[in-house]
């Protein structure tokens, strides 16, 4: 602590922080202290209680938010599980993807879906929501596939035009899901709040794995036919 001539308010604060029982040992000093009355608290204990109540209220609010997120995630997992059971039974890859895309739009509040496959991928059939890129992908898309990381947010008009050729004007936020080394699944929404950077990725990771598994099956079946 500084000497008496240079003692500051912060010096007193720091000293009291290391002496939590100071006012217990010197209770008469409380009679000399001026405490705010506009808060409705007239003693140190009441002030502490008021602060604890405020902190408790904030914690309850945060727990409620977390519980809501957990509940929503659980509902998403159940819906994804049911979706997977429904579409995985499709023998034809064309039917699988057509059903998958339709269900994503209907049941998961998605405005547009598009699967972008790399050149050389096996053709899953004539599904309007699938694009096969015969040449190299744009750098930004190639980098995303290389990182194998899901990305959310708002994109430039040029990127939206590439991802959703017919629906780009309707899209305000996007989720980009790498599908192994096969390509990229793009989900678009007309709401700017639907896909945001802070969102959890588990649901989309599982969705991507389901699509990757079906594409791998398609490739294996094609290899056996040409063996």
Residue-level pLDDT at 36 = 60
Q: What is the pTM of this model?
A: 0.62
Element (H, E) at 221: helix 202-225
Burial class (CB in 10 A: 0-12, 13-18, 19+), 129: buried
* Domain extents in the chain: 90-225
Q: Does domain 90-225 have CATH number 3.30.450.40?
A: yes
Distance of alpha carbon 204 from alpha carbon 76, whole angstroms:
10
* Pairing assessment for the beta strands 130-133 and 112-118 based on DSSP bridges: parallel
User: In the structure encoding, which two tokens stand for residue 23, read together?
Assistant: 């006012």
Distance of alpha carbon 89 from alpha carbon 162, whole angstroms:
31
Residue-level pLDDT at 41 = 45
Write the pLDDT tens digit of every residue in 124-169.
667 788 888 877 778 888 888 889 999 998 999 999 999 998 889 9
User: In the structure encoding, which two tokens stand for residue 210, read together?
Assistant: 């389901």
Distance of alpha carbon 208 from alpha carbon 48, whole angstroms:
51
């Amino acid at each position: 602590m500084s000497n008496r001539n240079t003692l500051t308010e912060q010096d007193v604060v720091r000293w009291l922080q290391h002496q939590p029982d100071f006012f217990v040992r010197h209770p008469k000093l409380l009679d000399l202290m001026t405490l705010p009355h506009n808060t409705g608290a007239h003693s140190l204990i009441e002030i502490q209680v008021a602060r604890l109540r405020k902190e408790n209220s904030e914690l309850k609010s945060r727990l409620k938010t977390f519980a809501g997120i957990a509940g929503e995630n659980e509902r998403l997992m159940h819906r994804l599980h049911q979706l997977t059971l429904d579409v995985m039974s499709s023998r034809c890859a064309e039917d699988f993807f057509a059903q998958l895309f339709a269900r994503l739009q209907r049941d998961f509040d998605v405005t547009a879906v598009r699967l972008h496959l790399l050149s050389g991928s096996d053709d899953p059939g004539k599904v309007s929501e699938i694009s096969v890129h015969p040449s190299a992908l744009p750098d930004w898309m190639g980098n995303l596939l290389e990182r194998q990381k899901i990305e959310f947010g708002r994109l430039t008009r040029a990127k939206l035009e590439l991802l959703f050729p017919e629906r780009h004007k309707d899209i305000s936020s996007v989720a980009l899901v790498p599908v192994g080394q096969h390509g990229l699944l793009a989900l678009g929404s007309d709401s700017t709040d639907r896909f945001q950077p802070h969102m959890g990725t588990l649901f989309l990771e599982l969705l991507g794995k389901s699509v990757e598994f079906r594409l791998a099956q398609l490739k294996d079946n094609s290899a056996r036919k040409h063996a």
